[in-house]
Amino acid sequence: MIVTPTLLVFGVQGLIKLGRASREAYEQYVRDRPASLPLLGTVSRTPVEQAAEFFRQPGNEAWVAAGGTFAAHWDADANGLREGIEHEGPIVAAWFTVCASAPSATPFEPARSVAFLVRQWEGDGPPPPWLRLALALADVALDFGEASPALLGPTGTSQPLLETVAALADRSRALLPDLNDPDQWTGDRWIRANFAQSLLVTVFRAGLTTLADNPGIVIREQHLQPLLAATIAPLRDGFEKAWANAPAGAQLGALVRWESIRDQWLPAMAVGAIRAVAQDRGFFLGKVVGGPGGSNAGQLVGALANSLLDEAAKLGGQDLLLRDTWIRFWSAAIGVIAARPELVVPAGTPAVHEQILRELVKQVAGKLTAVPAGVNRALLLELAATSLEVVNDSLPLMLRGTGWNGVGRDVVSRVIEALLPVLREGDPLLLRRLASPAQAVELVTVVLGEIAASPQLVVGGVAGPEVSAVVSSIAGAMAAQGAELLTAGGWLAVASAAAQAAARNPGRLFKLEGAAASGAGTELVRGILLQASELLEAGKPPVLSGAVLSELLVEGLNIVAARAATPAQIAELVGVLRTLAREAASPDGLILPGSLPPLFARIGLQVLAKKVPAAATVVQLLEGAGQ
């Protein structure tokens, strides 16, 4: 509730009216509200004391009772450790052994026992670095133990993940300081070491979440290790750099900022990476992209992660939608890299590949940054991610190879450029025609799916202008006069037909803005929509709307895809439609509105073939169509 001055005054006045009752209520509130009462302080326990406590508990006495394994250490009268002998080593070691071999172990109890074991050292000075990491990872694992017991244990599906994280911690000195050297984890170095450790813990948690949510996923350490290392390293490097460059006194700020980036980005990035591994393990088994001397999976993912985090550092903490969409883009890009790396990175060396991936992210980010205020940047980015995926899914498999070098990034760029004009603030016409942003994504999916399947349209490492032309033509048509007479579903059907027509006739039907002619497809769509709008404005029944209009547009696109048409002939076709529509709009006309699409398809072809004059009467047109 927002407290306004008026509300405040009202409240005080109300309380004054209540008088004594309100005062008593207030006093009672003050008296009875929570208060901190003193507690006795906690005690510190040495391992020996804790071991003794364990053997004193009901159920554990047999170990120290007469005849028990550790009876020599126990004074039954004092119910404590025997005086005069050394307990430090033997009793603690025995205690650990007993705990670890508890007969009541449940399937995930071993993990809990281990955590219990190592935790005992907590009270005996700072645990060594390796133990701290183990504790932190065990903590995460135990969180999942209750809900997903199958995940844990030596044969659990999480084992490869844990092995991966452990391997990253142990083998990669570049990521973590020496886990066995406490000196590396003290002083100022401790904060940096701790940050690196937290990256591993975050990845582990994200990984377990992914495995718990997708029980079918199978991963292997050797696939996962390079990928996760590449995902983590840029974050660690970014933090190190910020730490080193921060002026004295501002280093804490660097830590906080990078912790925030870590928490906001890393989990989802790790999930995306693990899913990519699960989908295409073959790629991560050391496949090299770009021929001998090219990049491996880790290098590519590392370059992408670097670029993404550069953008992350620029984003405000509040821009959650855009952040989530960038992560979507990350997942899509990794998926494409894994499945068809040549779509994103052509032949070349790791340095070239890194540059290309940086350019991809930079290009997309640059376009998003440049869009006018109010444009739905998250939607544009979502469309970019969709474009990558669609291109990946739709390109003909037989044409995999150098011919597709880098075409993915080109398509992404063209889609954003094409849609930008119709997503402007205050007039998001594209979204107004579609029921939801999801349908905008579907529109891009439909159009690109058709186009990418046509090799002529996407060649030589670049997407042909047809990609932009079709997308922008359809988007433009959706924003044109008369477009409101079509449903969102109808527009998707029209978009599909337009893309199919374009794919069959590259470079003929749709042309970019600024070309001498906009293309027969574009002209016809505009003309039909204008007719629909004029009919409505003339007070006629809206026979050109909804499903009929949608089918008419599809049929019109089929006509121009089947037979070349000049601009003059397109005008004639529109004129024919006007004649037919007016007749259908007449209550006792010869044409039923529902039959307009098939009639237009037949008559249109006759007109283009000059078998029927465009200026013919309705009766002549119908006769020409064999009616």
> In sequence order, which residues have a C-beta less than 8 Å from that of residue 428 and are 6 or more positions away?
376, 422
Quick one: which of 1, 16, 66, 78 contacts another protein (CB under 8 A)?
A: 78
Rounded CA-CA distance 291/460 in Å is: 18
Nearer to another protein, 64 or 337 (CB): 64
Quick one: which of 32, 187, 538, 609 contacts another protein (CB under 8 A)?
A: 32
20 near another protein, rule: CB under 8 A:
no
Quick one: which of 7, 8, 13, 27 contacts another protein (CB under 8 A)?
A: 27
183 near another protein, rule: CB under 8 A:
no
52 near another protein, rule: CB under 8 A:
yes
**Which residues, in sequence order, are bridge partners of residue 81?**
74
Rounded CA-CA distance 439/444 in Å is: 9
259 near another protein, rule: CB under 8 A:
no
* Residues 122-151, interacting with another protein (CB under 8 A): 122-126
Q: Which two tokens stand for residue 449?
A: 């799916």
36 near another protein, rule: CB under 8 A:
yes
Quick one: which of 22, 49, 128, 246 contacts another protein (CB under 8 A)?
A: 49
66 near another protein, rule: CB under 8 A:
no
Nearer to another protein, 88 or 537 (CB): 88
61 near another protein, rule: CB under 8 A:
no
Select the span of 30-38, 394-402, 459-467, 500-508 touching another protein (CB under 8 A): 30-38
Select the span of 80-88, 210-218, 375-383, 471-479 touching another protein (CB under 8 A): 80-88
42 near another protein, rule: CB under 8 A:
yes
CA angle centred on 298, ends 295 and 304, rounded to 5°: 90
- Chain Cα centroid distance, residue 179: 33
Nearer to another protein, 100 or 619 (CB): 100
Tokens 């037919």 map to which residue? 580
Select the span of 5-13, 119-127, 414-422, 493-501 touching another protein (CB under 8 A): 119-127
424 near another protein, rule: CB under 8 A:
no
Q: Which two tokens stand for residue 586?
A: 């007449």
Q: Which of 102, 103, 145, 137 is nearest to 118 (CA)?
A: 137
Report in angstroms how near the CB of residue 20 gets to another protein at its nearest: 12
Report in angstroms how near the CB of residue 170 gets to another protein at its nearest: 25
623 near another protein, rule: CB under 8 A:
no
Query: DSSP of 96-122, one letter per residue?
Result: HHHHHT-TT--TTHHHHHHHHHHHGGG
CB 207 within 8 A of CB 137: no
CB 192 within 8 A of CB 240: yes
Rounded CA-CA distance 317/264 in Å is: 9
516 near another protein, rule: CB under 8 A:
no
For 532, how many CA atoms within 13 A lie in the half-sphere containing its CB? 27
Rounded CA-CA distance 291/589 in Å is: 69
Nearer to another protein, 47 or 408 (CB): 47
Q: Which of 479, 486, 626 is nearest to 549 (CA)?
A: 486
Rounded CA-CA distance 108/150 in Å is: 8
> In sequence order, which residues have a C-beta less than 8 Å from that of residue 429 and are 6 or more positions away?
422, 478, 479, 483
Report in angstroms how near the CB of residue 151 gets to another protein at its nearest: 26
Report in angstroms how near the CB of residue 41 gets to another protein at its nearest: 5
Maximal CA-CA distance, the chain: 121
Nearer to another protein, 121 or 220 (CB): 121
37 near another protein, rule: CB under 8 A:
yes
- Residue 428's alpha-carbon distances to 331, 376, 545, in angstroms, are 27, 9, 22
Report in angstroms how near the CB of residue 17 gets to another protein at its nearest: 22
Select the span of 22-30, 536-544, 562-570, 589-597 touching another protein (CB under 8 A): 22-30
Residues in contact with another protein by CB under 8 A are 27-28, 30-46, 48-50, 52-53, 56-58, 75, 77-81, 83-86, 88, 122-126
